Copies of this chain bind each other. A is one copy, B any other.
């Protein structure tokens, strides 16, 4: 698998072990080791000394919400995010709202730092697609309906800008600046934003927007921009250090903006998924200590 130390990098980076203070803020998103069951994930994180986890609704639902919550709490794991709600651009606003309410309830039960929202794209079943401005208007309107529900449950919504190549089919929210604009009408503790390196690394306005985001930053996620893009571009997220993102600068900006929460590694990648999850977690920890952790303050 293509997740080893790249040539040119210091060769002697040892895998950090449990108890290493440098891992204190590292979180692993569940989908990075998606073939692990929830108990295997929890055990694996324990062995590696990783204290935070990002969870996904589908495997949590399959295991049982209460059971999942009990499992992570018993292990002393802290849930850095629940992925995900959103999809606010569809035709059936009643169904979308109900599903988001369920996601909010799940996030509350898991005591997750935030519920990540992927806002949805422009296509609609059996109807002409929305133009991008209509779709964005719809996101704003439906977000406003969701915020009071989240507030009542003490759950923070986290708007995730996705790379512009997903604008048509996944998320019409394309830049961090746009996410902040969308969040601003609401209190920061109710609506935050996600900074995901894969989605935003290219943005010439990124430093300024991260500073502007300040205490709106609800989640800091890591994945690398690697080339070539995969046929399924959702699976193009690589391991830190294998590609083009400037993790040192982005991490410093996020720190300087005041973010002091978990730093969550979320990689969708067939080669990573095919690898031994224990090795994946080791590589994640090593690359994190090499490329990211030194820039945290």
Over the window 180-221 of chain A, the binary record of Cβ atoms lying under 8 Å from chain B Cβ atoms (1 yes, 0 no) is: 010000000000000000000111110000000000000000
Residue of B nearest to A165 (CB): B165
B168→A244 contact, CB < 8 A: yes
A2 within 8 Å of B (CB atoms): no
With beta carbons under 8 angstroms apart, the residue of B133, B202, B243 that contacts A174 is B202
A164→B131 contact, CB < 8 A: no
Sorted nearest first, the 8 A-B pairs with minimum C-beta distance are A167-B202, A168-B244, A178-B204, A164-B202, A165-B165, A131-B246, A164-B164, A174-B202
Give every chain B residue within 8 A of A178 (Cβ-Cβ). 204-205
A contact patch SS: loop
A244→B122 contact, CB < 8 A: yes
| Distance in angstroms between the alpha carbons of A175 and B176 in the assembled complex | 14
Instruction: List the interface of chain A (C-beta within 8 A of B).
Output: 8, 122, 128-129, 131-133, 136, 163-165, 167-169, 172, 174-175, 177-178, 181, 201-205, 225, 227, 229, 231, 233, 243-244, 246, 249
B132→A244 contact, CB < 8 A: yes
Give every chain B residue within 8 A of A136 (Cβ-Cβ). 204
17 contacts between A and B (CB under 8 A): A132-B244, A136-B204, A163-B164, A163-B165, A164-B202, A164-B203, A165-B165, A165-B229, A168-B202, A168-B225, A168-B243, A168-B244, A169-B227, A175-B203, A178-B204, A181-B204, A229-B233
Given contacts A132-B244, A225-B168, A227-B168, contact A177 B202 (CB under 8 A): no
| Distance in angstroms between the alpha carbons of A136 and B201 in the assembled complex | 13
With beta carbons under 8 angstroms apart, the residue of B168, B177, B231, B244 that contacts A205 is B177
B202→A246 contact, CB < 8 A: no
Give every chain B residue within 8 A of A8 (Cβ-Cβ). 128
Give every chain B residue within 8 A of A128 (Cβ-Cβ). 8
Report A201 CB to chain B, min CB distance, Å.
7
| Distance in angstroms between the alpha carbons of A129 and B225 in the assembled complex | 13
B174→A204 contact, CB < 8 A: yes
Give every chain B residue within 8 A of A225 (Cβ-Cβ). 168
Having A133-B249, A168-B243, A181-B204, one finds 14 other A-B pairs with CB under 8 Å, namely: A122-B244, A129-B244, A131-B246, A131-B249, A132-B202, A136-B204, A164-B165, A164-B202, A165-B229, A168-B244, A172-B202, A174-B202, A175-B204, A175-B205
